[in-house]
Chains A and B, each alone.
Chain A
């Protein structure tokens, strides 16, 4: 009985956690404009999403494009910056390393809204007109610490002499970086990239404050505006479902990679 209760508890928790997602996924297969009305099974919303045959579709599609593009650029840059930073941090003395790692962790714990507002104020202060570029910069800013955090453990595991061994065998510092260091850090960099990508996709607060007034929308800001206009566009339901699936796949990939890494170490 005790065991049954314990199990029931965990299942109840899972149901509560996933009910909204399942709810949206189920209702993405019906045409009703109002969420919660089942008007028969249909994949029309999915079709609309891909053919663009719907009301206000152009702005939704462009919001999706913006979201993906920003996430890709931000993830790519933060992977580069974060990896270089991690290498630098790793080579600091123990004391400085601790201090810099601590500084690196603060932006991750810092509420998004604070990051968003402070970046907004910074851009205003510097007279940078806000738009695409500032959103990308802002995303790079909050994504980089995650990359640093996923590359550092790889550096710690690495034999400290490995880079010198490559140089000793005749590799220029650039070759040693390409042929030895990067292959060693790649798993951490890939995890960092995926993490940065999902963080960027997910973001609302920072984007909202740094996108300016040129009417740039990412998915999250689009939904926000859309919902305020009264009622969500029905095509958002299949879109959410798809995004959830993509994120799920990415998360599974990260976890499988980590499990594999642990096995080889």
Chain B
């Protein structure tokens, strides 16, 4: 049951463009007066979500509720929301006043009231005395203020902002962030904000919704999202992080980089593979051998303004990023420790590749859009449905797509201290996860091979 303080509810919302699933079963609620940010890389579905709320797109499945009532039948011009568009979208043939008054004139608001409201909202965005200016003569920042004023003057219940600051330079962006935050406080209405800039999201929001590939990854306050990311994607996307393979030994005890650490996480079970996130500012230097948990050698040190960014090689062969106010010379041996509080343990999303396949003959299996050679399979006949498991490190990537059984591209990559964890997206839309020591870049085209002995084939349960 939607509680009464929800202004917007998205229930099981899905959207496809052609064959491509852009949004996959999105469930989300937004409270009245909240500043919510939809955050994610381009193509994650955040703008699609916003456009469905504003009414420019209709969901294929699921429903969108406003105050508990389905609004799918209401066209955008009747919804009590207004949008600030990415590239301002001011009307070039109208001056500042007429741009802002556009909505009010359509509602046939009396002229003197329009004039009063326009003046008031111009004051709110600190653009008093700009009424008669031609919008194209304004700077980017000023145009954005007019766009915000034009939306706010209609007193919407929700202000939708689609990457409104993306076109501004850094300094201007920072100033506008603070002003937006103040406007939100002053007006008390709901803001739904879309951005790919994690810093902007952390600065502005009450709640952040992290999205990737059409799915919600995590919903939480900025501090939750930063300190307790639920998976590698969130940890990597928000801020800098060291993401490492680990093993939960028992409650409050975790092993990674071949050392054991105390932590505060419980309930994972004993001896369970996990992923561990340590923020680079949470690894501390010490001179006290009693506090030292592990040793490392500094291999690079770069001044970043407020802090120094250092890469160190641990005595066990892992690379870690550390941020610290004081620099340590390259080549020096340092003693390091991590607070139990600062170790974030995450469930592994997957521990090996699992593919659905079909036996072609006893030496070949068809899966993920290709036919792979396998060891002779006793008891399996051609046409049998099978489940194929492949360990991450057993997937063999080729420089040339034509050298692999299936072709794909590097879609996402994570550095895990001593190896890379890649997500390969095949031409047929399958995901293959690969652990490798070779260096690849996002977008690299690769061929995928798997040696016959590395395919673990079993009869599919469903068959």
Contacts and interface: CB of A to CB of B under 8 A. Distances in A.
Interface of A: 159, 161-162, 164-173, 175-176, 179-180, 183-184, 264
9 contacts: A161-B87, A162-B91, A165-B83, A165-B85, A168-B81, A169-B154, A171-B106, A172-B77, A173-B77
A138 B447 CA distance: 57
A170 B54 contact: no
B145 to A, nearest CB: 15
What are the 4 closest A-B residue pairs judged by CB atoms, nearest first?
A161-B89, A169-B103, A165-B89, A161-B85
Nearest to A172: B77
Given A184-B92, A184-B93, A264-B136, A167 B87 contact: no
B164 to A, nearest CB: 12
Interface string B148-169: 0011001000000000000000
Contacts of B86: 161
B85 A170 contact: no
A171 B56 CA distance: 13
A172 to B, nearest CB: 6
A182 B56 CA distance: 21
Name the residue among A162, A166, A169, A172 with the largest chain B CB count within 10 angstroms: A169
Contact of A183 (B77, B93, B150): B93
B88 interface: yes
> Main secondary structure on chain B at its contact with chain A?
mixed
Contacts of B242: none
B4 interface: no
Contacts, number: 65
Interface in B52-88: 54, 56, 75-78, 81-83, 85-88
Interface of B: 54, 56, 75-78, 81-83, 85-93, 102-103, 106-107, 136, 150-151, 154
B150 A164 contact: no
Contacts of B76: 164, 167-168
Contacts of B151: 168-169
B54 A168 contact: yes
Contacts of B89: 159, 161-162, 164-165
A162 B54 CA distance: 15
Contacts of A161: 85-87, 89
A161 B51 CA distance: 12
A264 B137 CA distance: 10
Contacts of A172: 75, 77
A175 B106 contact: yes
Contacts of A164: 56, 76, 83, 85, 89
Contact of B82 (A169, A180, A264): A169
Nearest to A265: B136
Contact of A166 (B87, B102, B107): B102
Nearest to B162: A161
A111 to B, nearest CB: 40
Contacts of B93: 183-184
Contacts of B77: 167-173, 176
Contacts of B103: 169-170
A169 B102 contact: yes
Given A168-B77, A168-B82, A170-B77, A159 B154 contact: no
A187 to B, nearest CB: 10
Contacts of A162: 89-91
Contact of B87 (A159, A179, A180): A159
Contacts of B107: 170
Nearest to B92: A184
A167 B151 CA distance: 12
Contacts of A179: 102
A96 to B, nearest CB: 14
Contact of B91 (A166, A167, A170, A175): A166
A165 to B, nearest CB: 4
A165 B88 CA distance: 9
Nearest to B106: A170
Contacts of B92: 159, 184
Name the residue among B56, B93, B107 with the largest chain A CB count within 10 angstroms: B93
B88 A159 contact: yes
B154 A170 contact: yes
A166 B147 CA distance: 12
Contacts of A183: 91, 93
A155 B360 CA distance: 54
Nearest to A162: B89
Nearest to A176: B77
A230 to B, nearest CB: 56
A93 to B, nearest CB: 11
Contacts of A175: 106
A168 B153 CA distance: 13
A169 B88 contact: no
A169 B85 contact: no
Nearest to A186: B93
A173 B89 CA distance: 16
A162 B93 CA distance: 11
A101 to B, nearest CB: 23
